[in-house]
Structure 1
Amino acid sequence: MKFARLGDAGHEIPVVLDGDRHLDLRPLTSDIDGDFLADDPVGRTDAAIAAGELAELEGAGDLRIGAPIARPSAVVCIGMNYAAHAAESGSAPPPVPVVFLKTPNTVVGPNDTVTIPRGSEKTDWEVELGVVIGRRASYLDSPADAAAHIAGYVTANDLSERTFQLEVSGGQWSKGKCAPGFNPTGPWLVTPDEVDPQALQLRSFVNGEPRQDSSTADMIFPVDHIVWHLSQFLTLEPGDLVLTGTPQGVALSGRFPYLAPGDVVDIEIEGIGAQRQEFVAWEASR
């Protein structure tokens, strides 16, 4: 099942995809948020479709695509989770997951325009598989328990400003991760019954030229381990977003230029969806 949110920012309408139709979910929920995701969203939606309770949303194809989840309470990210990416960053594969945070207000629509931060010379792209939490996760006993706490998966672009992240960071990465719009998410939330999270192809392109091309099979720490590991140190709430790392092929490698105004980035994950962002210069009026 695929859930989405359509409409102007701050006024998105929750929908479920039913073939080529977008069915309005508002008879069930006001938004695709933690409360909805924690309350059997697939079962309730299936029942509502069978009962004919969900009407098709008129003009859906003309509406902006928002992030498929409402603003989460937390965005928790894993760094250097692909061995080849760690190598191109000049690091050995980490012995335990590297964790950093993005602010929840970085989460925007998959095709929204992104403003390059003021003073940035090293804005970088990162295609990532995102995990959306559907059930509170705290002190899970083992990775095998993680699946019961996952509502679904999303495509995400973990945009980064490398000078802020690595050179003026004070040792913490989040300075380079939290600029407005630095987490395009979507277009859909795809439920776990449709996804094998460790067998997905990830790709990114800049101005049509290929950059990243890898598989989640190359993750150092798989999704179930990540969710279990995080639960030992923090509580993941329904609706929270976990980003699982990016493969090799980013500008940090030195093989490609960083992003500049006018550049267009396309990213895609097999079965999870594609997105596109145009990058524009910061202006004082923004």
Structure 2
Amino acid sequence: MHEDLQKLMALQALDLEAKKLRDEMAALPKHVADLDTKAKAIAGQRAVVLDLIAKEEALRRRQESDVKDQQAKVAKGKQKIGNAINTVQVTAFEHEIAFAEKEISRLEEAELESMMRSEELDAQKTVADKALTAAESTHKSERERAIATIAADKIAVAAVDVQRTAQRATIGEDALSLYDRIAKAKGTGIAEALNQKCTACQMMLRPQRWNDIRERDHTEMTTCESCGRLLYYDPARDSPQRKTVTPERTESIAAQIVRGL
């Protein structure tokens, strides 16, 4: 293994840890904002339900008032009948009473329908109350967790960055430049070669390249021909059944002639 490859492996582990911490710090505020948006949306839905409940209550108050007005007309009509001087007046007053009683029935039926709607709205309000309480509680707890996590992540990132700086100082300039270029393009600069594959892109390695990487005295910087990442090999992780691949060799024409004699 190249003398800088092991150092680059350690550097990549630090780079990935720093990236994970920074990604978490970037994601948490969005997560909290999404929870806040959700809680506000539930509050908005609850407000609609409350408005509908208030409208139904106002409607019933008007209906109750109208019923009383019609009941007063019925009572007044009955008094008029008692004072009527002929059948024509009696018939007219009876029509007024019948109309008022019919209107009372209509209003009472409408009032009953309103009460049924209010019962449904009250059930919706109960659900909305519970949902809003849960959403606000989740938002509050997640916000507190995010604040604590981000504070801890900032400290952790600072510590990792110190280690990264120290590690980079131990690596050769050419190897470090190569790693930085690959990592910038691919996200990672190094991948393990395992079972004749690059574990990053899962592409097979040519037999000769696989054999070269497996050689104990191999000190070259070897890259994956597919993704371009630097490759390393760990004998402890290799499949015990996998044997060194022997590349096929094409017999020369001269050898074929000699073998045929």
TM class, shorter-length: under 0.3
Which structure shows the higher helix fraction? 2
TM-score, length of structure 2 as denominator length:
0.20
TM-score with structure 1 setting the length = 0.19
The structure with the larger Rg is 2
